[in-house]
Structure 1
């Protein structure tokens, strides 16, 4: 055996035992990229990428599919699969149990006050109008460091920026040391907050002064494919679909039925390909004006594109509109990547693409396909539960609200009434298990325990990964597959521990770091992205990371034959 291989063979078990293996592997075989880009497609299931790959253009997604690494079985493993939790996971490598970002918002079990994941009332937006108390202005609630935080600590000259149509999509991936810019639907501008700076750079003011969002007024979202080419998709304007300001069918005119640009129009842009185009234009300006990737000190740019999520929520991921958006997005990504090639250099850029969660089809569409599905009436269930607890314990209102797929109780009042909170939780769980559509209920006693799940606790492991003792509810509910908790009669959603919500893309491209055209079927997790990108940058993984370097993603100095297929154990 070659000596270097013998040393690795001997040291690997010891390194794994004492937790040093990521740092042992941390030295890349190629210099780090000058610009590392993370692209997050909000609400994109991997099944969509695989299903429609033959309709993509020559670049965009095909850059990864034809010239990069494709992880076909990448998953989140926490149960409450939503935007905030997913974006916090990507670059920390930490599940919500460690990052503290248990959802987009949560009802505090102690204060009984609602908390937005990126709110910080000590700070305000720099542009675009007044700042609401629960607006996303800082990473204060994020309890883990990101790859960007590690990079800036190790290389003080490094720059880390995040851009998104959503505040949480911009703030959470860049962490505590980076700078976030987010789009404001009230005014159609991009802004940062006083957490990051006292005033915008001149280039941001100049970008906003051009009113680029207004340039899409009157533009038409025209489908790339004729309706006859979309067999198998839900046609436009189905009864279960919601409606944007432009309606719910294509072609659609931006600003239709409105007299001038305003909040309705600026919101509609994010429910169309034009919202992603605008976000990428701001990202382009940022790359140029901040000189990203122009020296040997690595920089990081995270770009979270929000439109796919909004479109899927409104019309359903099964809709023709969602499919058409994915094709338009593919073209937009291709143009953006080509600009990065020109400005930074094709061999100086590394790109990772993933999603914050998948999506369930609308219940009505699933029923149309012969699959079980329903809209779960959460408000009615809570009312019935409170009635049951009133009869049993004499409590006027035991459950004060729902939070992150669970229920929050006024525990101080329970104790004041001489009741043990866990006894009330157990009674609530027993009642909920008898409601149609509920398949599992876990209480704090199980969620806080490290004991192996019982055979009947199928989803407990996933619930534990997403459960934080100070922020999560003491009772969590898992609905049946295909059921969604919804107070509306239209649209679709996500947030479950099922494959359609957990299975997302992980795609890597970078000719100097990853072999080309390689598909990997080994199951991997989104928490693996952070240690992988840290390794490419020659860094230690973020401190709270629960992942490992993706199989086959260690930087290599040699080429792999086209369409190589790896089957590697985890």
Structure 2
């Protein structure tokens, strides 16, 4: 079966020569890994950096499927493999995670402390702020917003490249706005993401031909019903139905009615569209063919939408892994056919945890969903009644708890103390840190798996945006009290199933190796910068030596 990217590439990328088209199709259909490259370590700078984030691609998911990959992932497995990369902070969500990948800085420096936070001074009734919005735009709220790059406090690698040589081009394409914006940064030549009905940008820019071809191809695809996908043999044992709330999941095969954009988003087809548009932009803009190195960041968001909707442990995610492998293979084949000298890094913004109900059936009876009495609203109402303070007393967003501005200043500390006391006494809460406790913690030099909870919290703490208290649930407690359509499993915890992600580097003729010891996603920027001889300093990460022998790519 053709991957979704195959058909979309044919519509979006300009026609290949007959030989190149045959090579691309052969790569897409191949069931065997590519032949190992000639060993060596390229010393010349690559002309194009391709930075890929697979949303919710945990190290556990990578380990589960790595022996099943036969196409795009199989190629990356021939490079430098770091199976224990860490998003070392506690706020393991999409926006904070993407903010680390191409900045080399943890969220306490990027300012992206969560997907959403509370700004009680925001000039609108809704005080909850989305990480990639401009909350000063009239008539908006955190769900209906104007996308913007205002909240990212540090430059991305693309911005560093442009500062060193303005001839470098920076392009970002993703299934989510926050992925495109956090990886692209403030100075981009093109930035596009799925807006729910079409691929859009955030600044009213002209639609380039590659994106328009992508829009047309996706519209044509969505207008037609999608038949159930065939199931690879290794996915069949996982296609087991399970009741979660009022729905049955586990064996969905991504059949889609004509015109169903929501089902398109939570399916492998979304990634196919993203990579096809990325390929079209590379081709049209002649990225990797200029006088200076270029960079394109690609946010593959479908794994996250599928993981939330069905959980990462079922047949749906297995199908997604199989399709994404083909999509990556088709994308790389297109780049090869154009003769580009490119370097790839692939990682993830965070991991994920499977549905509690399925975990309970798989030898984990202690798995649970969070109870409603942990809610900020319930605790705030109880404290207000106890202390005689009119509500609201507490405001909450993600795991952050804020004392409402309406609380008298002389009662704030009493509210914080009582809230922390109540939360710490709850059997599902691992920790409830005050902002003073988090600020007092420091980032250690020890490996990230050894960090304390307070240190993990400090890595995603910004005094201007973080709450007065941070709630961290116990391991194996899912932070969704009541599952519903599209939202049965989640992430966002300080535990390693959400923190650990793979980091894979590949370049043609690179001598591959595997390093099982822990590294961090903030190490990606100094590592890539070294390969293009770009001096960087003051980052949270360190350069990873990609030479498996006595040489050192960091020098």
Normalising by the smaller structure, the TM-score range is: 0.7 to 0.9
Q: 2:253·2:316 contact (CA, 8 Å) conserved in 1?
A: no
Asked if structure 2 preserves the Cα contact closer than 8 Å seen for 1:105 and 1:114, the reply is yes
Matches within 5 A, 1:55-134: 55-57=68-70, 59-65=71-77, 67-108=78-119, 110-111=121-122, 113-120=127-134, 134=144
Among residues 188, 202, 211, which one is paired with 1:204 in the alignment? 211
Deviations 1:205-260 (A, max 9, x none): 34434554535722224133248x543x36135335857xxx863444221xxxx5
**1:366-418 deviation digits (Å, cap 9, x = unpaired):** 22223222111346643442243224421122544222312111145231xx3
1:350 aligns with 343
CA spacing shift, 1:81–1:142, aligned 2, 3 Å: same
SS in 1 for 2:52: strand
SS in 1 for 2:440: coil
Shift of 1:74: 1.0
Deviation of the 1:48 alpha carbon:
1.6
Q: 1:463 to 1:213 in 2, by over 3 A?
A: farther
Give the corresponding residue for 1:6: none
- Residues 142-183 of structure 1, C-alpha deviations (whole Å, 9 max, x = no match): 001110010011110111111011111111101111231011
> Displacement of 1:357 after TM fit?
0.5
Contact 1:164 1:182 (8 Å CA) reproduced: yes
**Corresponding residue number in structure 2 for 1:249:** 251
- Contact 2:442–2:455 at 8 Å: present in 1 too? no
* Aligned-partner SS, 2:289: coil
Equivalences for 1:57-456 in 2 at 5 Å? 57=70, 59-65=71-77, 67-108=78-119, 110-111=121-122, 113-120=127-134, 134-135=144-145, 137-178=147-188, 179-185=190-196, 187=197, 189-194=198-203, 198-212=205-219, 214=221, 217-226=224-233, 230-231=236-237, 233=238, 235-240=240-245, 249-255=251-257, 260-261=258-259, 265-345=260-340, 348-371=341-364, 372-378=366-372, 381-415=375-409, 418-419=410-411, 421-450=412-441
| Number of residue equivalences | 498
1:55 Cα offset (Å): 1.4
Deviations 1:49-91 (Å, cap 9, x if unpaired)?
222222111x3111121x2010021111111100001111100
Mapped to 2, the partners of 1:151 and 1:383 lie a distance apart of 46
Equivalent-residue separation in structure 2 for 1:366 and 1:321 (angstroms): 16
Is structure 2 residue 39 aligned with structure 1 residue 32?
no
CA contact (8 A) 2:395 2:404 kept: no
Within a 5 Å distance, the mapping from 1:547-562 to structure 2 comes to: 547-550=541-544, 552-553=545-546
Asked whether the 8 Å contact 2:343–2:506 carries over to 1, the reply is yes
Q: Counterpart of 1:106 in 2: which secondary structure?
A: strand
Which region of structure 1 is more displaced relative to structure 2, 80-89 or 423-432? 423-432
Contact 1:123/1:193 (<8 A) preserved: no
2:338 is paired with a residue whose SS is: helix
Q: State the partner residue of 1:15.
A: none
* Cα pair distance change 1:283/1:75, threshold 3 Å: same
- Partners of 1:234 and 1:411 lie apart in 2 by 50
Over 3 Å counting, the alpha-carbon distance change for 1:147 and 1:161 in structure 2 is same
Gapped regions of structure 2 (runs ≥ 5): 1-40, 445-450
The structural deviation recorded for 1:202 is 4.1
Quick check: 1:492 aligned with 2:489? yes
Counterpart CA distance in 1 for 2:179 and 2:528 is: 19
Matched, 1:473 2:467: yes
TM-score by length of 1: 0.81
The equivalent position to 1:52 in structure 2, one of 65, 83, 86, is: 65
Q: Is the 8 A contact 1:109 1:408 kept in 2?
A: no
Give secondary structure in 2 for the equivalent of 1:334: helix
The SS at the match of 1:220 is coil
- Does the Cα contact within 8 Å between 1:352 and 1:506 map onto a contact in 2? yes
Contact 2:373 2:379 in 1 (8 A): no
Aligned CA distance change for structure 1 residues 161 and 442 (closer, same or farther; 3 Å) = same
Contact 1:93 1:528 in 2 (8 A): yes
CA RMSD of aligned residues (A): 2.9
SS of 1:223's partner is coil
Task: Select between 284-293 and 351-360 the one with higher mean Cα deviation.
Answer: 284-293
- Deviation, 1:452, is 9.2
Counterpart for residue 22 of structure 1: none
Q: 1:541 to 1:268 in 2, by over 3 A?
A: farther
Q: Distance in 2 between matches of 1:241 and 1:100?
A: 38
Retained in 2: the 8 A contact 1:165–1:183? yes
Q: The residue matched to 2:243 in structure 1 has which SS?
A: coil
